[in-house]
Amino acid sequence: MANYRSPGVYVEEVSTLPPSIAEVESAVPVFIGYTKIATNLAANDLLKVPTPINSMADYVQYFGGPFVQAAANISIVVDEKRTGTKTTGYSAVITPNKDAMGKHNLYHAVKHYFANGGSRCYIVSVALYTGTVDADDLEAGITIAGAQDGPTILLSPEAVYTSESEFNSLNQALIGLAANLKDRFAILDTRLSTVPKSTSSIGTDVAGTIDSVNADPLIRQYGAVYYPHLETTYNYEFDFDALTITDYTVNGAAPAAADDKQGQAFSALKNTSSVLYNYVLGQYKNQHIVLPPSAAVAGIYCRVDASRGVWKAPANVSINDVVKPTVSVARADQDLLNINDQTGKSVNAILNSPGFGTLVMGARTLNGNDNEWKYINVRRFFITVEQSIKNSTAMFVFEPNTSSTWVKVQAMIENYLFTKWRDGALAGAKPEQAYFVNVGIGSTMTSVDILEGRLIIEIGMAVARPAEFIVLKFEQMLQTS
């Protein structure tokens, strides 16, 4: 109150409007893995530092390009087709030695993320390219990511290159961190996608991932698993002009010495035999990289959150920059993945649907048998609302624990939840059927709570759940006229 000392007119502004809640970002992934560089102002100053980026251009600026494979890890066999002395065409067999290649996919994973609708994200570069992936490096990166405020999604695409036991431990670390912090969600991959599939291979592929995750439902609700891996439109990174022809034949037979191009580099053929160069380059571009689906799914989370809202299930959505899933998951296979009556842990299948492309056709957390936290969108919506309200109510710490404060807090939260109901996030014909906010002595607090400085708020929400199963019932009517 002003101190009135002399006659005059005094103006006092009275606050009547409640404060508002600023919603936190719901889809901010943190990628953990190896990079070519990690430099901002000085060499390697971004190593093991969570760094926000907004585009693939930002990634390239700070973390460089993809891992360039050694020329020895690819074989190029060319056969020249001749009629008489005239060359009529070529055929080529290009065979990458995938087992010997360097195991780094973070660059392409981030590229896949942005291609599928991704926006702001964090990168934790655990080390520069070494050609191999060390589980200890990735585990240290997970710990670093846990200390950073802001990320809401955890993933590590390079974990698939570790041993089975190490991979399982890394998945446990990811979902365990999400469950411990309760402000983020883990997207987990399966280590294998057996090609071609057999009657038992899909169960074997996913068993390691789901068996390694803690059986505690309080942990399982903070993560989701997707299967299978994806054949992308991206190519293995070689210095193509530096590659050489491994073997060269003419009509399947050894050529004359003057015609033999074995051992010649494509940098020379580019000028002397441009038709051969362009043909082999076209065939080379058909050698596609296989990526685990976590990065693309993180991009889909961002895309769906931006276009519809975090309450919309991130399913029945197409994946971009994909040729096909590496495994064709049939309806019978998906039945066992989506509802596992033995473990209660669900796996979300990615299907190749004719006319629609490659679709994510699952929206369940690993806690698939729990009606409360079965769906990814329900868990992530609660995370978003909890963190938004938590951040906004921090301003009331040390405010008088009286009815005036309670009214402001209640009005602030109710206004926020009303907008969520209006947007379609909450189910109910009326606001009172969609949510409630209770605060006050005799309602959520006792006099002892007041004396001990506790302001307790109870919030209930009826989150809209997806129509996962649409059942059409038909019956035949008898003729009436």
Residues 62 and 77 in one domain: no
* Cα 43 to Cα 252: distance, rounded to the nearest angstrom: 52
Q: Is-contact 426 414, C-beta < 8 A?
A: no
Residue with tokens 């022809």: 245
Query: In this structure, are 479 and 336 located in the same domain?
Result: no
On whether the CB atoms of residues 128 and 153 are closer than 8 A, the answer is no
> Residue 385 falls within a domain, yes or no?
no
The verdict on 147 and 255 lying in the same domain is: no
Give pLDDT, residue 1: 62
Same domain, yes or no: 314 and 177: yes
Three-state DSSP class for residue 269: helix
Residue 472 has pLDDT above 80, yes or no: no
The model's pLDDT over 304-314, given as tens digits with 9 standing for 90+, comes to: 999 999 999 99
Tell me how far apart the alpha carbons of residues 127 and 140 are, in angstroms, rounded to a whole number.
11
Q: Are residues 448 and 307 in the same domain?
A: no
Within a domain: 358: yes
In a domain, 17, yes or no: no
Q: What are phi and psi of 153, to 5 degrees?
A: -135, 135
pLDDT category at 373 given cuts 50, 70, 90 is very high
Per-residue pLDDT at 2 exceeds 80: no
Pairing assessment for the beta strands 435-439 and 457-461 based on DSSP bridges: antiparallel
Asked whether 39 and 46 are in contact (CB, 8 A), the reply is: yes
Residues 185 and 208 in one domain: yes
Strand partners, 93: 77
Averaged pLDDT score across all residues of the chain: 93
Give residues with Cβ within 8 angstroms of 277, minimum separation 6.
266, 269, 270
Distance CA 63, CA 49 (A): 12
- Distance, in Å, from the CA atom of 253 to the CA atom of 233, rounded to the nearest integer, reads 34
Do 272 and 303 sit in the same domain of this protein?
A: no
- Rg of the chain in Å (alpha carbons): 29
Last residue of a domain, one of 248, 266, 286: 286
224 and 245 part of one domain? no
Residue with tokens 């868990």: 379
Q: What percent of the chain has pLDDT over 70?
A: 100
The answer to the question of residue 114 being in a domain is yes
Is the confidence at residue 470, as pLDDT, over 80?
Answer: no
Residue 294 is assigned to a structural domain of this protein: yes
Domain end (from 268, 286, 304): 286
DSSP 354: T
Phi and psi dihedrals of 196, rounded to 5? -75, 155
- The CATH number that applies at residue 177 is 3.40.50.11780
How far apart, in whole angstroms, are the C-alpha atoms of residue 220 and residue 234? 33
Number of domains within the chain: 3
Instruction: Identify the residue whose tokens are 């943190």.
Output: 30
Looking at the structure, do residues 215 and 270 belong to the same domain, yes or no?
no
pLDDT (0 to 100) of residue 348:
95
Same domain, residue pair 50 and 176: yes
Note down the domain range covering 217. Answer: 29-66+102-234+289-378
Q: What is the mean pLDDT of residues 410-427?
A: 94
C-alpha count within 13 angstroms, C-beta hemisphere, residue 436: 8
179 lies in the same domain as 51: yes
The helix/strand/coil state of 191 is: coil
Residues 242 and 346 in one domain: no
Q: Which amino acid is at 290?
A: V
- Read off the pLDDT of residues 229-251 as tens digits, 9 standing for 90 and up: 999 999 999 999 999 999 999 99
pLDDT value of position 344: 85
Among residues 331, 349, 378, which one ends one of the domains?
Answer: 378
**384 lies in some domain:** no
